[in-house]
Each structure stands twice: as structure tokens, then as C-alpha cells.
Amino acid sequence: MSGKVWFVTGSSRGFGRELVRAALTSGDCVAATARRPEQLADLVDAHGDRVLPLPLDVTDSAAAGASIAAARDRFGRIDVVVNNAGYANVAPIETGDDADFRAQFETNFWGVYHVSKAAIPVLREQGGGVIVQFSSMGGRVGGSAGIASYQAAKFAIDGFSRVLQSETRPFGIKVLVVEPSGFATDWAGSSMSSADIPDRYADTVGAMSAVRSSAAVSAGDPARAAEILVRIVGRTDLPYHLPLGVNAVEGSIRHDESLLAEDRKWAAVGRSADFAEPYPVDFPAEVQ
């Protein structure tokens, strides 16, 4: 078996399905997981033993471990682990349902945690591999009214993955955080529900409903994105962050430049908090 072995969560549709298809087309093998693996039957028919459909609810840590073990038993190794499963529902923080907020976080963050943790021993013992974490443009830029749980989880994925990278780099494990903008998947379609939005949030959270039907949400081609990822994971100089889509790239650059400018503006004030630094210092001129 000369190709790579992939383990992909959320394989039944969207990015996950396109990534499974792209990996198989390139000659690789895939352990494709989904809550309903029967939805992968057409891929099994087309690619036979090179695809292993597995049931997986990523919020179940034991199930994550069992799926990783099943993939290794079937293919002998795992080269690329992709944490793709996730969804978002729309609601204001003030009036949103607590249980729904937690449920989203269970999938969007804890699912990544469970699968990543289960994969580490396999990748470590075999001398390396790649863990691909699907975040979002919102996990870098943030601030999209109405999807606080989703974006909080994506920010948490970044923090978690930075530590994961530091801890596992000596084992030959690489980490790639993918940050897409809008793509033509079902993320903003039937996968997303919207709670009742009070009038006071019509211009903020309510605007998310308009965004769901905008061209920006479907600007990206998930098949192209999948092909890019299949090509990129083989590089020795793998990036840590990968914005995907025009809005993600341009928005991330604007955001990072803004942060850098603000850091420099307040640098002297921040430094002055240490004992060895001059104090007090002048604050920057206040902008009215």
C-alpha cells in the first residue's frame, strides 16, 4: 500500500465527503466516519477495500478511540487525521438555549479533543503523521453575531492545537489548522437552525440569516479545497494556519495587520507593567 491512510470525521457530506473523495481519487485509503456510515455506500461501491466506513459520534471519547483503533487495524497505520465534523446554530448569547450552546461545543471542540487524543499514540508509535483541524475564518477573526458557541469552539481549537503541536512535534507529528470562509456546503443550510431572535437583535444576530443566503457563503468550491488539502499534507513545510477562500485570506490579513498595529501602539504601556521597566509611561493619544 503506497498511498496515505486518512481518518476523516464528518464524512457524509460537505468538506468531509469531498476530502474522502479527493483522497481516494489520488490513490489513498480512507477510514471515513459519520453518524450514519450507510451514507458512504456509494464510495464503498466505487473504491472497495480502500474505504472503511465507520460509525462515529465524535462527542463519545470511547467511540473515537474505537474508530481510530479500527482504522489502524484495517490499514496498518494512519497518516492523516482530519477533524472536520462540526455545525453551527444561530441564537443571541442573551436569549440562546444553554443546552444547545453546550451541545454545539461538545461536537465542535470536544469532538476534536477526543479524536486528536485517541490518534496521538498511533501517530507517535509509527513515527509521525498529520492532524488537520477544521476551524473557520471565524476562528481567527471572530465576531460574527449569532454563532457564539461555534466561534468560541473554533478559537478553542486553535489554542488546543498550538499546545498539541508543541507537545507532539518531537514525535514527528504535524498540525494544520484550516480556516475556511464561505463554501458551497450545507453548513449554512439544513445543518443550521435558528432560534427566535428578539427585535433588539434584529440588526446583529438577525443579519446572520441574510448572510446565510449571500453569495459569500457559497463562494468556495469544496472539491477544490479538498484537492488542495490532499496535496498540501505531503509537504515538509506544512503551514500551521491555512485560510481557505478569498474572504478568509483577505479577512485574516486585515485582522492580523490590525492586531499588529494595535500591539505596537500600546507596546510601551504593556511593557511598563514589569518591575524592571520605566513607569509610568505616557498613554497613546486618545482617538475621539
Q: How do the pLDDT tens digits run along the chain, 288 residues long?
A: 569 999 999 999 889 999 999 999 999 999 999 999 999 999 999 999 999 999 999 999 999 999 999 999 999 999 999 999 999 999 999 999 999 999 999 999 999 999 999 999 999 999 999 999 999 999 999 989 999 999 999 999 999 999 999 999 999 999 999 999 988 876 555 666 777 899 999 999 988 766 655 555 678 899 999 999 999 999 999 999 999 999 999 999 999 999 999 999 999 999 999 999 999 999 999 988
pTM for this structure? Answer: 0.94
The helix/strand/coil state of 41 is helix
| Alpha carbon 22 to its chain's center | 18
Respond yes or no on whether the N-terminal peptide bond of residue 243 is cis (omega within 30° of 0).
Answer: no
Residue 72 CB neighbour total at 10 angstroms: 20
Fold of 5-244: Rossmann fold (3.40.50)
Residues recorded for the chain: 288
Query: What's the first-to-final CA gap in the chain, in angstroms?
Result: 65
Tell me, what's the pLDDT at 288?
Answer: 85
Cell 468538506, residue located: 15
Contact 5, 20 (CB under 8 A): no
The x, y and z cell numbers of residue 127, run together, are: 513515527
Q: Where are the domains of the chain?
A: 5-244
Tell me, what's the pLDDT at 3?
Answer: 92
Q: Annotated catalytic sites, by residue?
A: 135, 150, 154
| Closest listed residue to residue 226, CA positions, set 85, 26, 44, 15 | 15
The helix/strand/coil state of 51 is strand
- The DSSP letter of residue 110 is I
Tell me, what's the pLDDT at 48?
Answer: 95
